[in-house]
Amino acid sequence: MFKRVAFQSYTSVTGNLARNAGCRRLASTKTLEETLREVIPPKQEQLKKLKAEHAQTVVGDVKVENIIGGMRGIKAMLWEASVLDPIEGIRFHGMSIPECREVLPPAPGGKEMTPESMLWLLMTGKVPTPQQSQQLSAELAEKGELPSFVEKLVDSFPKTLHPMTQLSMGVAALNHDSAFQAAYERGVKKTEYWAPTLEDCINLVAKLPSLAARIYRNVYYPDRPLVPIDRNLDLTGNYSNMLGFGNNENMTEYLRLYIALHGDHEGGNASAHTSHLVGSTLADPYLAYSAALNALAGPLHGLANQEVLRWQIAMQKEIGDTITHDNIKEYLWRTLKSGRVVPGYGHGVLRNPDPRFVALQDFCKTRPDLQASPTIQLVQQTAEVAPEVLKEHGKTKNPYPNVDAASGCVLYHYGLTEFKYYTVIFGVSRALGAVTQLVWARALGLPIERPKSYSMDALEKLIKN
């Protein structure tokens, strides 16, 4: 009920999302900070009212299985930008992924929503005008160059150091120039904490492509010169260009969609939660997001997409050119009977196919080159076979594909074949949601996060009593 009401208030009583979004796009040319100064006070009042009138309202029961099972499912975190429903999937301020793809502005000449437009939506709850999105692109391009000391730091890393470790260290080093840290030391008022936090967050998002591209160059193509930032390109256009794919518009469009889709997925996932937790100590955004990247680097989180691709390529090698549902089914059973999981299937929350997977599949269906790819064909046919096999196997709560089942395979098709780098792209993406919540945590004055822990003896005593 709550989400339906929230969504109706966001669109309008007419329900015509596209038309109303078009009206909103023509309604304002305010900057991102100006827009936030409008939308923050009502949210502050909403939180104040919740505290005053509903502080004692019970919203869930904590069981022993929640405590010893990684706190899974416990309703205990405020996260404004997105809500993940097990059946519907993710909604960003009430908007589904298909709705976002319909109304969020693309880059000039492109068709897919840009990360900039998704960032604006996540931050403000409003659909930006094309002019606002392009204005944000220009600001990010202007702020996208790395400080020379960070360049030297990253260039000093051994090629054998994992790209995600390099990314985390590079992000942490950027805190040298933190606007929030400087403002805090000057004694900025608590009510204005969010403004220097926003400045840091925009700088962080702006510099991530340069940092990530430099790591890619150093590890895989050390003799390749780095392309400078083009002030006329959007964030992803520059990132694709610096990676060496600037002449492939399909790859650039895919990266736009990939980064926007991966930008936020509620607050309970490990990387988002880590950013929120560290940020709650009033650590600056660079330190908070560096910590989030360390969480993302774990094989149970962000590394999953590279594991999917390894598994898919191994299956393709064994099956050969003749791909049928029967030989896919046989390979799935061999994987399961060997005690391994089928990567790219299942999800901690979702109980239906991941809408992000569906969006990536829709992207593939509009490109003949992708439809002709044996790797993409195998992904599509595996998605048709795997759910029934996993249901029969009976050891998974969600037998449907998640976003990792498709994301890495498209990168591989377009020539980005370095598996270890895939999570870095995820890291560039996930910043959109993490920085949004850092700004809002400061705007709403959220406290330091401090859950209560128990030992097993203490739990047994509680149970007995």
Helical residues (DSSP H) of 338-444, grouped into ranges: 355-365, 368-371, 374-393, 404-413, 422-443
The pLDDT value recorded for residue 182 is 98
Report CA-CA distances (Å) from 193 to 49, 80, 272, 434: 21, 18, 20, 16
How far apart CA 311 and CA 205 sit, in angstroms, is 32
- Contact 204/285 with Cβ under 8 angstroms? yes
Report CA-CA distances (Å) from 304 to 80, 280, 341, 422: 26, 28, 12, 9
| Residues of the chain below pLDDT 50 | 1-27
How far apart CA 80 and CA 6 sit, in angstroms, is 12
The pLDDT value recorded for residue 28 is 64
Of 377, 306, 296, 388, the residue nearest 344 (C-alpha): 306
Report CA-CA distances (Å) from 342 to 49, 151, 224, 338, 351: 46, 39, 37, 11, 16
The pLDDT value recorded for residue 301 is 87
- Contact 134/108 with Cβ under 8 angstroms? yes
Strand ranges for 139-197 from DSSP E = none
User: Which two three-digit tokens encode residue 340?
Assistant: 């391994």
User: Which two three-digit tokens encode residue 194?
Assistant: 């969010």
427: left (phi over 0), alpha (psi -120 to 50) or beta: alpha
Please report the sign of the dihedral spanned by the C-alpha atoms of residue 423, residue 427, residue 428, residue 429: positive
CATH classification of 1-60+79-445, choosing from 3.20.20.140, 3.90.226.10, 3.90.1150.10, 1.10.580.10?
1.10.580.10
The pLDDT value recorded for residue 397 is 80
- Partners of residue 89 on adjacent β-strands: 85
CB atoms within 10 A of CB 56: 5
Is 404 assigned a catalytic role? yes
* Contacts of residue 15, Cβ cutoff 8 Å, sequence gap at least 6: 8
- Contact 321/369 with Cβ under 8 angstroms? no
HSE of 104, CA atoms in CB hemisphere, 13 A: 26
Helix, strand, or coil here: 326? helix
Please report the sign of the dihedral spanned by the C-alpha atoms of residue 384, residue 387, residue 388, residue 393: positive
- Partners of residue 92 on adjacent β-strands: 82, 95
Is 347 assigned a catalytic role? yes
Of 93, 265, 273, 347, the catalytic one is 347
Record the pTM: 0.90
CB atoms within 10 A of CB 412: 20
Of 450, 120, 436, 171, the residue nearest 286 (C-alpha): 171
Q: Give the model confidence (pLDDT) of 164-192 as tens digits.
A: 999 999 999 999 999 999 999 999 999 99
Is 413 assigned a catalytic role? no
Q: Give the model confidence (pLDDT) of 278-313 as tens digits.
A: 999 999 999 999 999 999 999 888 877 788 888 999
| Helix and strand element counts for the chain (H, E) | 23, 2
HSE of 404, CA atoms in CB hemisphere, 13 A: 24
